[in-house]
A and B are shown apart, each in its own frame.
Chain A
Amino acid sequence: MWGLFNHRGPGFPDELHRLQREMDRMLGRAADAYGSCCVFPPLNIYDDGESYSIRAELPGVKPADLDVQATATTVTIKGERHKDARDERLSVERRERDHGVFNRTVELATAIDPDKISAKLEDGVLVIVAPKAADSRPRQIKIA
């Protein structure tokens, strides 16, 4: 099973909240009542057998604003999305983009090699590639 949670604060209820809304959507109920509730950034995780890649949409976030840390089974993404400097000078007609700090930890199902993790920002998307630890990769068993 996937364990995905925030180490800090009300991460677990947030995940439940997300699940609740997902169910509401499936059942055709209005999800708007929940407003903006959910942990940032949302993550997608892919597995190609050899490694995990964790992707998060972080438009406008620069590498200097990000702190990515890893252990043998967890990856933590911390950072801040800064307020647009132009906001101070210009009057705001419409405001949909948000700013603030974020901190999320993902627990992975299989051990990874924290020394071999790479992370890059591509067009506002954070891509973390975490190779699985050598002894947790799937192996083909020969049948005698």
Chain B
Amino acid sequence: MTENEKKELTQRDKEPIAKGAGEPTRAGLVYSPAVDILRTDDALTLVADLPGVKKADLEIGIEDGVLTISAPVADVEARHKPVYREYGVGGYVRRFTLSDKIDQARISAELENGVLTVTLPKAERLKPRKIEVAAG
């Protein structure tokens, strides 16, 4: 594909999570990040866009089989006066229910350039196995 034929990127709307169920305790807006989930035989890989999130602020937790990703984002608007605004600035929260096929002890995560990658390995006993058929 040449440069001209490439798909133009469009913006998904960034909607703050409605108040109500599970309202955040911190003040300020909270957004649901865009997430891709990829699968291999060995693991599920969860990729989330978290622009503005610093590694130290990122929290990933598992409780009762629910994976929670949450991260506050520093409020730049407290320091600067916005004169034009197209997106809201706020933290991120998103939850995923994990099946018990995931080996929760071996979950790993990496944050780079505002993109979080969480690797959720499948439990050893559930990995597909090739069964050798013995010649008889």
Residues on A facing B (Cβ under 8 Å)? 2, 4, 9, 18, 21, 31, 36-48, 52-53, 55, 57-62, 80-81, 84, 86-87, 89-102, 121-125
With contacts A45-B83, A59-B49, A90-B45 known, is A102 near B37, CB below 8 A?
no
Residues of A within 8 A of B136 (CB): none
B12 A96 Cβ-Cβ under 8 A? yes
A124 B81 Cβ-Cβ under 8 A? no
B40 A101 Cβ-Cβ under 8 A? no
Residues on B facing A (Cβ under 8 Å)? 3, 6-14, 34-40, 44-45, 47, 49-54, 76-77, 80-87, 89, 113-115
B36 A99 Cβ-Cβ under 8 A? no
- In the assembled complex, the CB of B98 is this many whole angstroms from the nearest CB of chain A, namely 13
A101 B9 Cβ-Cβ under 8 A? yes
- In the assembled complex, the CB of A109 is this many whole angstroms from the nearest CB of chain B, namely 8
**Bound Cα distance from A101 to B10, whole angstroms:** 9
B8 A36 Cβ-Cβ under 8 A? no
Residues of B within 8 A of A44 (CB): 82, 84-87, 89
- In the assembled complex, the CB of B108 is this many whole angstroms from the nearest CB of chain A, namely 15
**Bound Cα distance from A31 to B12, whole angstroms:** 12
19 A-B pairs (CB sep. < 8 Å): A4-B84, A9-B8, A42-B87, A44-B89, A45-B82, A46-B80, A59-B114, A60-B114, A61-B113, A84-B36, A89-B40, A90-B45, A91-B38, A91-B40, A97-B49, A100-B9, A123-B53, A123-B114, A124-B49
